[in-house]
Structure 1
Amino acid sequence: MNPAGVPVSESTSESRPPRVLRTDVRAARRRLAGQVRKTPVFHTTVDGPNGPVPVSLKLEFLQHGGTFKLRGAVNALLAAPKGTDHVVVASGGNAGIAVALAAARLNMACTVIVPESAPHTKVAAMWSHGAEVLWHGDSYAEAQLRASELAVERNAEHLHAYDMPAVVAGAGTIALELEEQVRGRPPVLASVGGGGLIAGLGAALGRRREVVGIEADHTPVLSAALAAGRPVDVGAGGGKAELLSATEIGQIAFEIATRQQIPALSVTDDAVAAAREYLWREFRVVVELEGAAALAAVQSGVYVPDQGVRPIVVLCGANTELPVL
C-alpha cells in the first residue's frame, strides 16, 4: 500500500519502517488542497555572532492551529479507513492541537492523551477544538502507550504524532512549497522534536537541498541515534517545559536521516530563548521555543552558512503562553 495512505492504526515500530518518498509527499499535497495554508517566506537578515546573516524565514507558525503538524494530521485522517469517526493520539502539545482541529473539521471525535507536564496553553487549545483530553504519566512515552491501549478499548483509530507515513508525508508538503518560493537550492534548517518535520523535508527534497536538524542539547535524539546506528531513548534532560518532546527519534525519521545524511546540531535553551526574544523584538513575531530552535542555531553560531548562501529557517509553531517575554 502507498505509505502516505497507510491506515492511521498501522504500527511503525518494526525494525524496517515503511519508506516515505517524494511521490508520497506529492500525493499528500493533492489530498491537502484547500485544507492547509501555503505559508509565506520572508527574506531578511538576522544578527549572528559575527554580524548580519541573510536568511529566508518560512513562516509555518501561521499555519491553521499555529503548527506545521496540522499538515500531517489532516493528511492522516483523510487517508484513514472509510467510516472512521474517532481518533486517539498522544501528544505533549502541538500534535494534539493539530489532530483536534483536523478531527473537528472532518466531524470526527478526538481524544488526546497528554503527560502530566503538558503546557496548559496547549491543552486549552485542544479543548477549544472540541477534543477530550486525558492525562497519563510523566512522559510522552507513557502517554503514547496509554493512547495505543485506549484506541483498542474504544475501537478508534490510533494516530502517531510523528512516526507514521501519512503524518511525515503531510509535513513534507512544506518542502514542496519552498521549492516554489525560494530560488536555488539553499539548505533548510528545522527543529527535530520527534523527527516528523525533518523526515518530511528529507523525504520531499532528497539530495536536492540539504536538510539540517536542530535539536535541544538536553534531548539530542537525532545525534544520539546517528551515533548509535539506531533510535535510542536519551531520557528527559530537564529542559524548559515548553520544549517537552519525544526522547527518542521516530523510526521513519531515523531511516530518512540516515538515507539522506541529515546532520544534527544541538542548541542550548538559552540560545533558543534568545532567538525567540529576537523575533519578537525585531519583527513582532511570536513563536514557541521549539519554533525558534532553527533560528537559534544561526544566531548562536552553531550553524554557519557558506559564503553567499542564504539558509531557509523553518519557524514551525506559535502555541505559547502570552505574554512570552
Structure 2
Amino acid sequence: MTSVQIDDVRAAASRIAGRVRRTPVMRADDGVWFKLEHTQHAGSFKTRGMVNQILAAASIPSAGIVAASGGNAGLAAAYAARELGVPAEVFVPVTAPAVKVAKLGKLGARVVQVGNEYAEAYAAAVVHASSTGALFCHAYDDPAMVAGNGTLGLELLEQIPDGFDTVLVAVGGGGLIAGVIAALHPFVRVVAVEPVTASALHSALEAGGPVDVPVSGVAADSLGARQAGRIAYDLAVAAETPSVLVDDKAIVDARRRLWDDYRLAVEHGTAAAYAALTSGAYAPADGERVVVLLCGANTDPSDLA
C-alpha cells in the first residue's frame, strides 16, 4: 500500500516554498471559515501538488512532462512546467471547458484533446508518455502530488490558531482530500463532499475499494474522475472519513451564494464543498468549527453577473 504521511507533507512544504502562494482564509457571516485556495497560481490547489511532483522526481527527461486532466491538473502542470523551465503536454477531453483549454495554451503547454471523459484523456496520455519517455504527472493518485496538496492543511493550522474541528473537501479523484487527511488527521475531522452524479470516493467506500462510476453533472469537468485514487481510498478508510453527496441544484445554488454574498467566483466543483452546508447534507453540531475548502476558480463567470 502506498501511503502519504505528515512527514511527506512537511517535506513537500519545504520543497515548494516560494513557488506557490500561501492562500488566505476568510471568516464567513455564519462563522464558517473559507480557505481561499482558488486564488492559487493557475486557479486551483493542484499547483501545489504538481510543483512538488516535478521537483521530487529523480530527473526530468528532455521530453518534459505529460499530464491528463479535466482542466485543473493540466493548468497546474502547465504553470509548474513553465515556472520550472520544463516542456509540458496536456491531454484533456473534448468536453473540457473552453476557458480552461484557452488558458492551457497561454501557459505554454501543448494541448491534445481526446475522448469525452477524463479517463479517455488519461489513457491517451499514459501511452504518449511511454512512447516519448516524458515524465507522466498523475492528476491525483501520486504520493508527491498528494503530499504537495496537503501543504494547504499545514497553512490552515497556522492561519486559524484557535483551532477548527472539521474541513469540508470537494472530491473528484481524491488527491486533495488525501493530502488534507495526511496533514490534519487525527486532530481534525475531514469530510468528503461529492456530487451525486460523480461519486468515485463515496462508491469506493461502499464497495470496499475503488470502482468505476458513471460521471455526469455540472461539476464533472473538475470532479469527474471515473475511479477514486488508491491513495485517497486507503487514507479515507484509515481515517474513517465520511462522505456526503450533493445534487446539481445544490451545487449551482452554493456557487451563486458564494458570489452573491462574498463575491467569490468559483467553479461548480469547488462550490460542492459549500453545498454540503447550504443544502443540509452536512449539519455541523452545536459549536462545531468548520472550514470549507474553496479549491478552484477556473470557471466562466459570465453566468454569475
TM-score (norm 1): 0.90
Matches within 5 A, 1:107-126: 107-126=85-104
1-structure distance, mates of 2:303, 2:267: 8
Query: Percentage identity across aligned positions?
Result: 47
2-structure distance, mates of 1:21, 1:281: 39
**Which string of whole-angstrom CA distances, capped at 9 and with x for unpartnered residues, describes residues 255-282 of structure 1?**
1000111111001111111111111111
1:305 alignment counterpart: 284
Which of 77, 80, 84 aligns to 2:57? It is: 80
**Which string of whole-angstrom CA distances, capped at 9 and with x for unpartnered residues, describes residues 287-313 of structure 1?**
111111111110111111110122000
1-structure distance, mates of 2:136, 2:219: 28
Which of 122, 145, 149 aligns to 1:144? It is: 122
After TM superposition, give the deviation of residue 239 of structure 1 in Å: 4.5
Which of 199, 207, 223 aligns to 2:202? It is: 223
2:246 alignment counterpart: 267
2:145 alignment counterpart: 167
Which of 38, 44, 48 aligns to 1:71? It is: 48
1:130 alignment counterpart: 108
**Which string of whole-angstrom CA distances, capped at 9 and with x for unpartnered residues, describes residues 201-221 of structure 1?**
001112110000000011111
Secondary structure at the residue paired with 1:324?
Answer: helix
1:279 alignment counterpart: 258
After TM superposition, give the deviation of residue 82 of structure 1 in Å: 2.6
1-structure distance, mates of 2:26, 2:202: 29
1:158 aligned onto 2:136: yes
Matches within 5 A, 1:1-325: 16=1, 18-45=2-29, 53-85=30-62, 86-182=64-160, 183-239=162-218, 242-243=221-222, 245-325=224-304
2-structure distance, mates of 1:82, 1:220: 35
Secondary structure at the residue paired with 1:58?
Answer: strand
- Contact 1:115 1:140 (8 Å CA) reproduced: yes
**Which string of whole-angstrom CA distances, capped at 9 and with x for unpartnered residues, describes residues 146-166 of structure 1?**
111100111100011000000
Amino acid across the alignment from 2:132: R
Secondary structure at the residue paired with 2:301?
Answer: coil
- Contact 2:38 2:297 (8 Å CA) reproduced: yes
- Contact 2:198 2:220 (8 Å CA) reproduced: no
Over the aligned positions, Cα root-mean-square deviation in angstroms equals: 1.2
After TM superposition, give the deviation of residue 84 of structure 1 in Å: 3.3
- Contact 1:119 1:241 (8 Å CA) reproduced: no
1:9 alignment counterpart: none
After TM superposition, give the deviation of residue 179 of structure 1 in Å: 0.6
1-structure distance, mates of 2:139, 2:275: 24
Q: For residues 268 and 256 of structure 1, do their structure 2 counterparts lie closer, same or farther at Cα, with a shift above 3 Å needed?
A: same
2-structure distance, mates of 1:223, 1:244: 12
Where do 5+ consecutive residues of structure 2 fail to align?
A: none
- Contact 2:35 2:291 (8 Å CA) reproduced: yes
Q: How many residues align?
A: 302
2-structure distance, mates of 1:127, 1:249: 28
